[in-house]
Structure 1
């Protein structure tokens, strides 16, 4: 790029190129661009480092990516031209919130507080998200108060993370209060708002409330997406309404739309959680015939269900399919499976076999 004398790339160009490579998962190319930039005599600034951090965070090895991100963050603090700005903090806070690393989120938030950088609504959302994901409701509410005192108005992301956090903790009164506040605000609910309420009511077996949310969503002229339908399917599964879950799934099939793996998995999960491995196997077979290719998480779900119900023939068939589809179980897969086996009661046959091979105990005086 720099060999063309009529054009000299600046930080903005390199920053955008690094971002593009990061989004495509091309971390090495992003690093090469960063190296090429410095070799060309162009000095990186904060925006370039922010792009480089983001590029690493798109990689599949999250633990390594987070460590790299912190390394770049440390370097930035030592360079006057590249001091972290609020965007830097927000990128890192969001990443560690998603990783549920509250300790690192606390450290970053404290570091920001001691710096000259002023937090914005994205900063507060990132910290609240971390606390909410870890069920730390009081800490989340404390940050919300601090957000309001800083004259930062909650946006739809704020409302959604509060609704989801309260819902997961089954603090439904607070969840409903937040929803009412959302309706009174200038913000508008989004599909994730309703989806979260439906699934969390479902987990608490509050079927009527979940159905009311769905009705209200339709009354407000929102069009359900596949996640909405998956939330309804799983909700009915938690509420022991397998037939209603099946009706929704059949409706999606009959609509002619392509069925996503996540939707198939939701219906399989309903069968599995309700102790219906035969029905799960039939649906799995039908999906395969229809050309739906299951992923490893689908196999894992079925494997655990089949072993728990002691359906050896289904386990054997599933393993054959895994081999045919090139699904190679990793260590975690086997650990989960072994955990399921370990929790099973011993069968009478195994007990009798063990006792028949065991020497008879002799009683000594």
Structure 2
């Protein structure tokens, strides 16, 4: 049986008061609002001088039409005013008819942006008391208000009052409202029964909105097959259908984690010649993001803007996330600013911008968003602080994460479980189980009991610590504890462990965990597959890696960029360069993100291939029972069999695509070509990539300067030194030594005199390497006296530990001067050092 309205009102009343006290007595026109340009300083006086007079005038003239107009005008100021004006007219003897009640009900139209459930309940009580026969349109509108407020029992009571029959027998035009009521009330089967009855009665005339809502509701409940049956039946009918049905089915696929199937439905737009609307675009964007295809999402958004298609907050949320994924949080921020200028950017949008910055480890800018929220009067919520806590914890700044945690509490926000998890995970990742235990106790004292999720956090945390180089032992112990406690690890936790074992190149461990997941019917994540493919590739098991890649598709696991990168690495490791390029082409065809990491994997594997000759030589020697004592360096580092040509093709692709590279990538590329005795190509690559490199490394410049000096090309060394200064690279001892040698070769003795000042400006204390380079540079230019001065400065450097090279340079200097006493002094002072044969021979001539 339904709930009576007097019971409903009395039960709902405490919701309006935090203290639970009874609400104020119903009094007309209590609010202080403005109507038109006239401000109402005193609502009672305003009522007496405006609407009260108008109501009285209409009552006196007995003009029902005028009263309707007064009620319509009253609702423009406040929806309550229309009901209050009607009740005031009734108190003056006016008999209210359907026109008046219709005007009152219309004031509660949810399209007017007002959803006041207490006003609805009060209106229904007054209409029942007046024995008004409700119009079906009123019932539909009032029920819609209560449905939007998620009050299913009250909605059902309104409908029963209106029709006095079983809910299942209401007219078709109320079917959608009832379907919403039952769905939101957790009674999806009843909603489906009403849909089937309406479908049977109306046949092909069933409203599109009912089809759309039913498909969407079933999708949210995970009942995809039933949603598909409804959609297919609609598609096969002769009646045309609108985009809303397609949108709902796409949304159902997304809700059931089948975004690929959702995207396949786009063909219906072309087949039925329907234009994709805003909801279509938002659903497609959600599919792209679920498939880890941010580039596709950005391309669709740019196309929308080019065609001047409207976009909203939900569009922006997807695109902000997409730009965060591709490493461009600045553009994500600009999208939010555009939305803010339209007055549509709420706290959720700014949280998304903050998340984009944290994912790219730009924590200073993420922190700026917190201050920006306060400036924009957007009150930060728990999600805001949790985002910062997670960002700082993932960036390794646990102290700052804890600071954000405490600040959240100071702001009056109550931390939830997600507030504790990042800190516990950080402690696990850094190998601090004691600290993790302390925070677990804090969780318990806050009312959050440890559960299986906490074990998951510990397992994932210790596994991530192993990924960063720690031992996998703690993670394996947590796994054993979970098994002993009967707690089943999730696919995600197993997958992180697979990544940890893969990082340590533990092929046996990876295969064991993957087998255990198969036994438990757990599907590995994309990251786990990528890690497993990577370790298989490292062990040159290309066939098994390819087989695993294929099985991902069979199990419906998304093949994201990391997976493709791992497969490419497996091909390169097996020296199948053609296969690697075919995988790259497939990534382009599917618009999978191709970035620095893709080509970085190729370079890393090429660099590892350099040592294959040494491994082969060792094995050949062991087979003969011999010990390999020496392998020529050039033989060790040479690439062959088309590998340098493949390296050329990699760099061509990087240049063609204008890939933004890191300093590590540039260093790998330069190192590869330098070791192949191709300094010119190494410098071309450096000149091409360095302008758009994010963090140029001084080691890269030093590597090329060393090779240039070795090839007796001091001009290139000096050019690289000038480039390092332009890029504000920090001068180190190695670079200082190399540039000193180059100055000596070209005879720039004036620059040699400036070397000590260079070191001082860079806050460097000269090391033996720098002293010996400067001494030899002076000797190269027959400036023995200046070389001797450098030796004296080195002797004054009390903490300096002389090495063999510096000793040799000093002895050579004094030998050339003919100062046997100084040679003898050096010999006595540093006789404990192991001198080179040449230095010993020179010393013997004077001792």
Which TM bucket (shorter chain)? 0.7 to 0.9
- SS at 1:4 equivalent: helix
Q: Which residue of the partner structure matches residue 188 of structure 1?
A: 379
- 1:154 is displaced (CA, Å) by 1.4
Q: Which residue of the partner structure matches residue 153 of structure 1?
A: 344
Cα distance in structure 2, aligned partners of 1:325 and 1:310 = 24
Change (3 A) 1:323 1:127: closer
Change (3 A) 1:6 1:359: closer
Q: What TM-score results when the alignment is normalised by the length of structure 2?
A: 0.37
Give the gaps of 5 or more residues in structure 2.
1-195, 540-607, 609-614, 629-847
Change (3 A) 1:180 1:64: same
Q: Which residue of the partner structure matches residue 142 of structure 1?
A: 334
- 1:268 is displaced (CA, Å) by 1.7
Change (3 A) 1:52 1:245: same
CA contact (8 A) 1:11 1:42 kept: no
Q: Which residue of the partner structure matches residue 248 of structure 1?
A: 439
- 1:178 is displaced (CA, Å) by 1.0
- 1:17 is displaced (CA, Å) by 1.0
- 1:287 is displaced (CA, Å) by 2.0
Q: Which residue of the partner structure matches residue 102 of structure 1?
A: 294
Cα distance in structure 2, aligned partners of 1:259 and 1:220 = 28
Cα distance in structure 1, aligned partners of 2:201 and 2:533 = 61
- SS at 2:201 equivalent: coil
Q: Does 1:71 align with 2:267?
A: yes
Cα distance in structure 2, aligned partners of 1:338 and 1:4 = 56
- 1:193 is displaced (CA, Å) by 1.6
- SS at 1:119 equivalent: coil
- 1:293 is displaced (CA, Å) by 0.8
CA contact (8 A) 1:19 1:55 kept: yes
Change (3 A) 1:129 1:74: farther
Q: Does 1:123 align with 2:315?
A: yes
Q: Does 1:24 align with 2:289?
A: no
- 1:266 is displaced (CA, Å) by 2.0
In terms of Rg, which structure is larger? 2
CA contact (8 A) 1:53 1:69 kept: yes
Q: Deviation string for 1:36-71 (max 9, x for gaps)?
A: 2355655322322211221222344433433x1433
- SS at 2:343 equivalent: coil
Q: Which residue of the partner structure matches residue 89 of structure 1?
A: 281
Change (3 A) 1:50 1:303: closer
Q: Does 1:358 align with 2:639?
A: no
Cα distance in structure 2, aligned partners of 1:98 and 1:6 = 36
Change (3 A) 1:186 1:37: farther
Q: Does 1:290 align with 2:555?
A: no
- SS at 2:251 equivalent: helix
Change (3 A) 1:173 1:44: same
CA contact (8 A) 2:259 2:287 kept: no
Change (3 A) 1:84 1:314: closer
Cα distance in structure 1, aligned partners of 2:526 and 2:388 = 34
Greater relative CO, 1 or 2 (CA 8 Å, sep 6+): 1
Give the gaps of 5 or more residues in structure 1.
none
Q: Does 1:337 align with 2:529?
A: no
Change (3 A) 1:245 1:111: same
Q: Which residue of the partner structure matches residue 197 of structure 1?
A: 388
- SS at 2:266 equivalent: helix
Residues 36-51 of structure 1 correspond to what in structure 2 (within 5 A)?
Answer: 36-38=233-235, 42-51=239-248
Q: Deviation string for 1:304-334 (max 9, x for gaps)?
A: 4456668899779867855764557699756
CA contact (8 A) 1:21 1:55 kept: yes
